Amino acid sequence: MMETRGCCASICQCFFEYSTPKILIIRSFKVGTLNRITQALVIAYVIGYVCVLNKGYQDTDAVLSSVTTKVKGIALTNTSDLGLRIWDVADYIIPPQEESSFFVLTNLLITLNQTQSHCPEVPKTGFDCTSDRDCKAGSRDTRGNGVQTGKCVRYSAVDKTCEVLAWCPLELDKEPPNPPMLADAENFTVLIKNSIRYPKFNFNKRNILPYVNKTYLEQCVFNRITDPDCPIFRLKDMVTEANEDFQTMAVHGGVMGVQIRWECDLDMPSSWCVPRYTFRRLDNKDPVNNVAPGYNFRFAKYYKNGNNEETRTLIKGFGIRFDVMVFGQAGKFNIVPTLLNVGAGLALLGLVTVVCDWIVLTCMTKKNIYNEQKYSYVDDFQLLSNETP
d(CA 29, CA 275): 53
**Is 55 known as a binding-site position?**
no
**Is 71 known as a binding-site position?**
yes
**Is 316 known as a binding-site position?**
yes
**Is 189 known as a binding-site position?**
yes
**Cis peptide bond prior to 269, omega within 30° of 0:** no
**Is 70 known as a binding-site position?**
yes
**Is 22 known as a binding-site position?**
no
**Is 312 known as a binding-site position?**
no
Q: Measuring CA to CA, how many Å separate 149 from each of 145, 157, 166?
A: 12, 21, 10
d(CA 278, CA 259): 5
**Is 308 known as a binding-site position?**
no
Residues placed in the known binding site: 70-72, 189, 296-298, 316
Residue stretches of the annotated binding site for ATP: 70-72, 189, 296-298, 316
